[in-house]
Chain A
């Protein structure tokens, strides 16, 4: 498998600003690759955690998704981008305080999900 998955987020945002987050799925190989993804529109999860690891927001928390499998062919060098914004709220709806957080992306497949390495996000006062 020559497909890599990464997550892009700003290093730092001001408190209360929506945080743009992008998951990038890239075929780094020289041959086309089939990837097996969930949903008619591709399902992806984003996890925001405090520095101590406690999860404060999960994009798919309590979500019920259609269990259809989509076969997507990525050409060599092709990148698929999946985007959302985090409004600096917990899943319960409370605003989060300033501080250091991590952002992790997860793309479900019909086997083990594709998971990004976490990146740091600082929320300044």
Chain B
């Protein structure tokens, strides 16, 4: 939890403290006095530390007001100070739970302040907390970070070893969306070139070159390499240049006997861009939102590509893209020769999925879930119907047939 300094807390609640002190003389005789602290707000811990001897922390344990005292015989003082709060929660003063505390709140607060001031200078510290529910100072560190460093620091600061808990935790990041600038770069994020927006399909290594794959039509010219420059998420942002188009086979007449008369064909709408030096990316990483088909664009985690596959009719396919986020649906058709509206292009042997899509999702990753965060890569999304209820993608086999072997995880 976050907390203001003890000094500020005391100043803000001086009136309540005074009222609590005045009630002491009437507590033991006559009818039950009206509670002094009739408030649903949690009492100020600074005030409690001053008025309840040995106070070590207040919290709700499954809804029950619970307090640590270093001397449990001082229960009556805790009941007086907390009666209003307890009643506002539906409990009488006698129902307040008292636990044996080891450390007084004032000591814990001092240690907390001291550790917090120093600890963030060390790598891997995520948070420092005065843990009221444990009567300890809690330090959260990233996985793999040194516990010993924190313990050594605490010892130097005079914090008893038993008063400190060090726990591994996930790093806390800003709630970014698929349309924000995100590093390391993962699939599903928005990319910008010229006055167009698309999505990243997947990261890949090709012939030792760090790369990402997106749609061929998400280049300056669909088919053929023109050195399209990509920005994530917008060219107008600082440090947003991420890479340059390096591979985009041209569309051809008579590519195969399958290519319809008068049309230009390819087996994939895919191109590859080389990452600029210094741009961080996660091989196999796909941005994950809170759930499929819920419209959220907020990134909550990541999927990890662990294999590649071709889908068959009836498989469930997913995509994550900058416009409609994570969508999921059934594969309805495979190996479909697909004419592209408003062009002479026919994409050969494509896959249809009954799932949401919108403008800007071009280039998105398409994948199947295999359990947990692991996914198998299926291909690159490039098209959809006008209602936004069906997307079309190029299977990964077609993509690698045209762009060459790719290491994708």
Interface residues of A (CB under 8 A from B): 36-41, 43, 45, 60-73, 108-110
Contact = CB atoms under 8 A, between A and B. Distances in A.
B385 A39 contact: no
Given A66-B340, A68-B198, A69-B198, A110 B386 contact: no
Contact of B359 (A45, A67, A72): A67
Nearest to A58: B386
B361 interface: yes
A46 to B, nearest CB: 11
Contacts of A70: 195-197, 359
A67 B382 contact: yes
Given A45-B386, A65-B340, A38 B359 contact: yes
A28 to B, nearest CB: 22
A66 B197 contact: no
B51 to A, nearest CB: 56
Q: How big is chain B's contact interface, by range?
A: 20 to 34
A70 B194 CA distance: 9
12 contacts: A39-B341, A39-B342, A45-B386, A60-B341, A60-B385, A64-B383, A66-B362, A67-B357, A67-B362, A68-B197, A108-B386, A110-B358
A66 B385 contact: no
A64 B381 CA distance: 12
B341 A68 contact: no
A40 B341 CA distance: 11
Central interface residue in B215, B342, B382, by most chain A CB within 10 Å: B342
Contacts of B384: 64-65, 67
Given A64-B392, A67-B323, A68-B217, 15 more contacts: A37-B359, A60-B386, A64-B339, A64-B383, A65-B384, A65-B385, A66-B269, A66-B383, A67-B357, A67-B358, A67-B381, A67-B383, A69-B198, A69-B323, A70-B359
